[in-house]
């Protein structure tokens, strides 16, 4: 027998499209277009609708949407080595855009970039009901077209592949960033330029390394020694120590990413070498801490937020129009000058 003193629980009413429309001052149809990612909504209107969605805590009824559109509204991501800053930022920003656009997320990772490993990952993630897949594919020497064929009819977009790949892909132009670094150093008067590269099995590391050497050569400068490292601060520290042991002349050190640059600066300091008075140092990525290094780091900023936005936009286009011709969207990084570079000293 029910307790007459017990109050019935009050069920919270779930916000509807009509509620959002009324809050935003737009029509039901406009809200529906925003929720479904339709491009024909003005930016200001879309922002107003999204603000109303956020205010009311509206969540689309995904089951109903799936029946209506024959889509799951779920995107799969195949990631690689998200221990490192670049891949981690790619994943975080793609996830953020997908959630903002109302998509669910399924994630799997691979330990290496071989076709066999990718095939296992695609097989695993394809067991789920997905509308499409984003794949982070950073390793050099992998046949990207063979991997693309593994997706079959599944819409996909790849990121972090090498430039010019004829697959659905989005890339940041690494060469553009390195050329800006070299032009900066040459303009300052540097002629003895050494390098600490990332692991050359990665597309980005190889592209940065090869562009550095070719750009220096084009400027009539013989590239100095290059030490391959592993993206970490500890790796940069050890690589700088190895470089110092060669006793090669060096007034500028181009480092493959900011974390390695941090370690390299420490190794130079431990050896009594001042930055930038004795050796200028540059990095790549512009991690949030780069502006607070001692000295603040001259580096190349990669816009991972824009990469995530372009990736999701491209994938939704492919989902809606599967015959979209395969091509690569290219974004350009920004060169950021700070205090870790200067003219070479006369003593150098």
pLDDT in tens, 187-201: 999 999 999 999 998
Structural element, H or E, at residue 231: none
Instruction: Give residue-wise pLDDT tens across range 321-331.
Output: 888 888 999 99
Whether 174-302 and 17-59 are alike in CATH topology: the answer is: no
Specify the pLDDT at position 263: 98
Specify the pLDDT at position 64: 44
Mean pLDDT (whole number) for 300-309: 95
Whether residue 248 contacts residue 224, with contact meaning beta carbons closer than 8 Å, is answered with: yes
Instruction: Give residue-wise pLDDT tens across range 108-147.
Output: 888 766 667 777 887 777 667 788 999 887 777 677 777 7
Mean pLDDT (whole number) for 177-185: 98
Task: Sort strands 193-197 and 169-172 into parallel, antiparallel or unpaired.
Answer: unpaired
Tell me: domain 72-172+303-332, CATH 3.40.1350.10, correct? no
* CATH number for the segment(s) 17-59: 1.10.260.40
Compute the C-alpha angle 15/66/49, nearest 5°. 35
Domain boundaries, the chain: 17-59, 72-172+303-332, 174-302
Task: Lay out the sheet containing 280-282: strands in order across.
Answer: 226-228, 193-197, 252-255, 280-282
- The highest-level CATH class for domain 174-302 is alpha beta
- For the entire predicted model, the pTM comes to 0.77
Specify the pLDDT at position 40: 65
Whether residue 158 contacts residue 168, with contact meaning beta carbons closer than 8 Å, is answered with: yes
Residues of 208-218 as b/e, b for ≥16 C-beta within 10 angstroms?
Answer: bbebbbebbee
Confidence category of residue 68, pLDDT binned at 50, 70, 90: very low
Specify the pLDDT at position 178: 98
- Whether the pLDDT of residue 11 is over 80: the answer is no
Percent helix, percent strand, percent coil in the chain, to nearest 5: 45, 15, 40
Average pLDDT, the chain: 86
Task: State the residue for tokens 């890339």.
Answer: 171
Task: Lay out the sheet containing 328-331: strands in order across.
Answer: 104-110, 74-80, 132-136, 156-159, 169-172, 328-331
Q: Which of 24, 28, 155, 160 is nearest to 90 (CA)?
A: 160
Give the residue with greater pLDDT, 28 vs 174. 174
Specify the pLDDT at position 60: 60
């Amino acid at each position: 027998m029910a307790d007459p003193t017990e109050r019935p629980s009050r069920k919270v009413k779930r916000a509807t499209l009509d509620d959002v429309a009324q809050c935003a001052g737009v029509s039901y149809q406009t809200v529906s277009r925003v929720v479904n990612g339709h491009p024909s909504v003005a930016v200001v209107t879309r922002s107003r609708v999204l603000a109303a969605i956020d205010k009311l805590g509206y969540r689309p009824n995904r089951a109903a949407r799936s029946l209506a559109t024959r889509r799951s509204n779920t995107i799969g991501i195949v990631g690689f080595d998200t221990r490192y800053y670049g891949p981690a930022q790619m994943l975080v920003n793609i996830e953020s855009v997908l959630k903002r656009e109302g998509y669910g997320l399924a994630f799997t990772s691979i330990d290496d970039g071989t076709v066999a490993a990718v095939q296992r990952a695609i097989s695993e993630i394809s067991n789920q009901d997905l509308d499409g897949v984003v794949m982070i594919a950073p390793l050099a020497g992998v046949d990207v077209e063979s991997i693309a064929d593994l997706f079959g009819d599944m819409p996909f977009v790849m990121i972090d592949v090498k430039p010019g790949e004829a697959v659905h892909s989005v890339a940041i132009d690494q060469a553009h960033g390195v050329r800006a670094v070299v032009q900066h150093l040459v303009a300052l008067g540097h002629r003895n330029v050494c390098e600490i590269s990332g692991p050359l099995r990665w597309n980005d590391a190889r592209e940065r390394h090869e562009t550095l050497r070719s750009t220096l050569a084009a400027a009539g400068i013989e590239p100095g020694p290059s030490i391959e490292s592993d993206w970490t601060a500890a790796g940069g520290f050890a690589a700088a120590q190895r470089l110092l042991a060669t006793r090669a002349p060096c007034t500028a050190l181009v480092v493959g990413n900011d974390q390695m640059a941090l370690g390299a600066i420490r190794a130079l300091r431990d050896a009594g070498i001042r930055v930038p008075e004795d050796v200028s140092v540059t990095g790549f990525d512009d991690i949030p801490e780069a502006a607070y290094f001692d000295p603040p780091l001259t580096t190349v900023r990669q816009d991972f937020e824009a990469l995530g936005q372009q990736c999701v936009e491209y994938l939704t286009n492919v989902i809606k129009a599967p015959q979209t011709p395969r091509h690569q969207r290219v974004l350009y990084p920004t060169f950021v000058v700070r205090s870790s570079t200067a003219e070479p000293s006369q003593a150098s």
